[in-house]
Amino acid sequence: MSSSDGGRSQRFLSKVCLVTGGSRGLGLAAAQAFAREGARVIIVARDPEQLSAASAQIKGDVIPISGDLASVAGIKQVVAEISAHVDQIDVAYLNAGRAGIKRLEAMDEETWDRVFDTNVKGPFFLVQSIKPMLVPGSTIVFCGSAAAKNATAGLAAYGSSKAALEHLTRILAAELVAEDIRVNIVVPGGMNTDIALHTDGLDPQSSQAFRERIRLGTPMLREGEPDELADAVLFLASSEASYITGAQLAVDGGATGFRRPPS
């Protein structure tokens, strides 16, 4: 049953769920799904206008917070605002990310640092900052990428950063297991979002062609829908996954598992 189906039980009733990058795409879909299941949802994103629009789409108790999670200073500001609203966090879905497509000769330090700051440094120091608010039984879910496993020319910064995030998931799972905090990661493949339009090094004209190449390289020959990833996020965040930590859950149409047999 999809998370978009109102028949799902209220697994997150009275829970506080933090979603970063929650103003559009995969983050917004997850925030909407948490809210449908009874959660009080905190969404964090950089753009105040997008945050306002997203809040209007989420039916339920939502707290929008504007901030940049790519720096420690920005993280501290966001966490201070979160603390003004809630005393604890039950679920943290750290979805905010940045993509970049530049080959070896074209890569520059600014792009490399921007991708790694958003995809690796930010999630690590955000967990460090919200750690005092995480209660026993709480969960952290990171958003990885099939690019961490499938080597693609031009994705040196993005693929490497997501591979680092996968390993960081296992390390944090090991550090937090004694405190009854689970840490897992979802690994989406090509998804039906506008991320290609927000990718460093990819112009709007070529973004559709890039998406088509990913689709054709996916065994199921289609993009995933944001609600399909949200289902996986909510599963890992729920008590249904109570014996799962340090794990990766691929939601990628088979892209990281096998190649489509010839027809």
Q: What residues act catalytically? A: 158
Helix axes 72-85, 122-130, angle to 10 degrees: 40
Q: Which residue has the tokens 């997850």?
A: 30
Residue 111 gets the label, from left (phi > 0), alpha (psi -120 to 50) or beta, of: alpha
Per-residue CA distances from 166 to 46, 246, 249, 250 (Å): 24, 9, 11, 12
Q: Are 139 and 237 in contact (CB under 8 A)?
A: yes
Pick from 66, 58, 42: nearest CA to 133: 42
Torsion of CA 137, 131, 25, 117, to 10 degrees: -150
Q: What is the rounded distance in angstroms from the CA atom of residue 92 to the CA atom of residue 19?
A: 6
Q: What is the C-alpha to C-alpha distance for residues 111 and 76, in angstroms, rounded to an integer?
A: 23
Do residues 94 and 126 lie in contact, with contact meaning Cβ atoms separated by under 8 Å? yes
Reduce the DSSP state of residue 184 to 3 states and report it: strand
- Tally the C-alpha atoms within 13 A of residue 185's C-alpha that lie toward its C-beta: 26
